[in-house]
Structure 1
Amino acid sequence: MKVGIRIPACDRPDRLASVAARAEELGFDQVWFPDSQLLWRDVFSVLSVTALRTERIGLGTAVTNVATRHPSVVASAARTVAELAPGRFTLGLGVGNSSVVPIGRRASTRAELTEALAQIRALLAGDEWDYGTVRSRLRDPAPSIPVHLAASGPRNLRLAGAVADGVVLLSGVSPETLASATEQVRQGAREAGRQSDVPLTVSAFCEVTDDVAAAARKLKPICASIAQNGGAPFLALAGIDLSVPERVDEVYPDLVHAEDWDQAVKVAGRWVSDADALAFAEAFCLIGTADRIAARLQETFDAGASSVFLQHVGSYDPPLDLIEAIGGDVLPRL
């Protein structure tokens, strides 16, 4: 039962390392940094500095990709962080959405992700990899790094269950969606002849507040983006029926990472009503009093999650208030 925090790499690495150190001091188990080269600082640089400024807390990418980074580069970078934080680093991989879209490239396919994962594992284990004209290996490998795959759709969830050391679930803490995602992961594990108890890390937007309705309105861009990117069936389980255009040009760079959040909320309001936003907050997110959030976290662990990492709304400031609120009022209740 681990509780983590997501910190966007939105500032100098030394300042972000101080934020992570504060999370460690307050009792968080993990800190996760996303990777998007145009939005934020280099994730492995931030992780390296953070590794030197912390002692206990787990570190991870949530997530990096093999579309803008060659798998051999990912393996080398992961090995470097793992050397600085022995036994504390988890390599989270995904298809690269926020890294590839701003530069006009496509996300990784399942086949590409599967092959890249095999390559990374081989290199980290010290094995040679066939690059066509040459066979090469990683000097000074680090074979003990767990590799987790981020997934939301059924096919990627089954893939993660089949090949990964763990899964980052992007479906929130809704009991119905969590149960559905968990079963897909377990099915993939069974089909691959693996044990089905693959570690599950659930991501969830979070805010400690007495005014759930006001907090929910700020989540409209998140809700719209989920519908926009194939998550409409998950939303429908909570009675939220949305149809959002594939492109929303008024918001840069996209709805989830909008630079002008107030504008994003206004634009997303075309498709997401206040009632929809409230339903989304109550079903998928951890919004409410400290007691309520602690209870929902316990329910999420009881439903099979091995860890949860919390996100604040916004991409360009560290979650200082959320860290203090959760560390001061929620973690003691657990």
Structure 2
Amino acid sequence: MEVSCAFPTSLSSPDDIALAETLGYDRAWVYDTPQQSPDVWMTLALAAERTDRIGLGPGVLVPSLRHPMVNAAGTATLAALAPGRVAVSFGTGFTGRRAMGYRAITWRFMEDYIRAYRGLLRGEVVEWEGARMRMLHPDGHSPARPVEVPVLVGALGPKGDAVARELGDGLYATLQTPAFMTEYSWAAYLLWGTVLDEGEAVDTERVRAAGGPGWALAYHGGYEFGGPEAVRSLPGGDAWMDVVERASDDERHLAVHAGHCVELNDADRAAWDAGGHVLLDDATISGTRDEVRRKIDDLAGRGVTEIVYQPCGPDTRRELERFLDAARSVAAV
């Protein structure tokens, strides 16, 4: 199993990725969330200049945010800066769309987009939005086509599975481990959590800062996919909804996604303080070193071939070091 990391793209991400390389992580993914992050391609280019070995890629690109030519050109540029180290993943848009008030894109759009994107990287003439086009980059403006870069697809259901099998080189999943994951030779799984010291309580300020942003996904995802009642069924869910419902209907998504994967927003803090922290163990890969190790081992049994850990909180080095120690102990057994 490969052990990779992810970062909610920030101005510190290039240095964080350089640190992850020093520690021994296999790959670093950064998020395509323009409503709260710097540009993903600029960040990856800076990371490429500061590293030599670690794999790099956007995880995940949201097709509706850019024309396929733009992402093809960005991919080719990164491949020139970090040859042999680039992989790309695509998703239908959770925070990348929902935090701006949109729903996820359709799988039909995803299929057409990836087909056009991959055709461009091969140097083909493709059709997009009724026009025919290809990459016209002269020598010195891009690597020669074809540009060979593996593509992972963020899929949890049968439609996504079909697109991943036809057009992808692997699977990129989070929050769930679909049964078909075992059928992929490359299955990356994005996760959150923190390694606890022996006897450390889960309701401490350190644990809240380091484990809380990942824990909050239970509420963010519950609301987006199951509605208010799904959230109210969770510990602290009433407190979470009370805060979110103060926002008007047309701006409620802003209250839901503020601080997403970075810090707890007002609703998240209310839920945590109302007892929601008891979900930390179920909602994240948190626990003592041995407990985290067992959880990672369980993920391997479900078909995960690459775990992608996103550290949170003020001490990135501590989180990366402690998690990698637990993860590498699985590989050593």
Whether these two folds match at TM > 0.5 is: yes
Q: Secondary structure at the match of 1:261?
A: coil
Q: Secondary structure at the match of 2:154?
A: strand
Which residue of structure 2 aligns with residue 205 of structure 1?
Answer: 192
Shift in alpha-carbon separation, 1:104–1:298, aligned structure 2, 3 A:
closer
Q: 1:86 and 2:76 equivalent?
A: no
Q: Secondary structure at the match of 2:75?
A: helix
Q: Is the 8 A contact 1:4 1:307 kept in 2?
A: yes
Per-residue deviation at 1:199?
Answer: 1.6
Shift in alpha-carbon separation, 1:212–1:125, aligned structure 2, 3 A:
farther
Residue range with higher mean Cα deviation, 58-67 or 112-121: 58-67
Select the residue among 217, 234, 237 that pairs with 1:222.
217
Q: Which amino acid aligns with 1:257?
A: H
Which residue of structure 1 aligns with residue 140 of structure 2?
Answer: none
Unaligned 5+ segments in structure 2 are 138-143
Q: Secondary structure at the match of 1:168?
A: strand
The separation in 2 between residues aligned to 1:131 and 1:92, in whole angstroms, is 20
Q: Is the 8 A contact 1:204 1:310 kept in 2?
A: yes
Shift in alpha-carbon separation, 1:72–1:284, aligned structure 2, 3 A:
same
Unaligned 5+ segments in structure 1 are 172-176, 187-195
Which residue of structure 2 aligns with residue 125 of structure 1?
Answer: 122
Shift in alpha-carbon separation, 1:313–1:265, aligned structure 2, 3 A:
farther
The separation in 1 between residues aligned to 2:226 and 2:79, in whole angstroms, is 34
The separation in 2 between residues aligned to 1:143 and 1:92, in whole angstroms, is 15
Q: Is the 8 A contact 1:204 1:284 kept in 2?
A: no
Per-residue deviation at 1:156?
Answer: 2.7
Per-residue deviation at 1:294?
Answer: 2.3
Residue deviations 1:276-327, cap 9 Å, x none?
x53x43344210122222232223223321101112346xx78333113224
Select the residue among 54, 70, 74 that pairs with 1:73.
70
Per-residue deviation at 1:99?
Answer: 2.8
Q: 1:264 and 2:267 equivalent?
A: yes
Q: 1:52 and 2:49 equivalent?
A: yes
The separation in 1 between residues aligned to 2:91 and 2:2, in whole angstroms, is 21
The separation in 2 between residues aligned to 1:125 and 1:258, in whole angstroms, is 35
TM-score, normalization: structure 1?
0.78
CA RMSD of superposed structures (Å): 3.3
Which residue of structure 2 aligns with residue 41 of structure 1?
Answer: 38
Q: Percent identity?
A: 22
Q: Is the 8 A contact 1:3 1:307 kept in 2?
A: yes
Q: Is the 8 A contact 2:218 2:283 kept in 1?
A: no
Select the residue among 16, 20, 23 that pairs with 1:19.
16
Residue range with higher mean Cα deviation, 286-295 or 62-71: 286-295
Q: 1:150 and 2:154 equivalent?
A: yes
Q: Secondary structure at the match of 1:3?
A: strand
Q: Which amino acid aligns with 2:10?
A: C
Q: Is the 8 A contact 2:196 2:287 kept in 1?
A: yes
TM-score, normalization: structure 2?
0.78
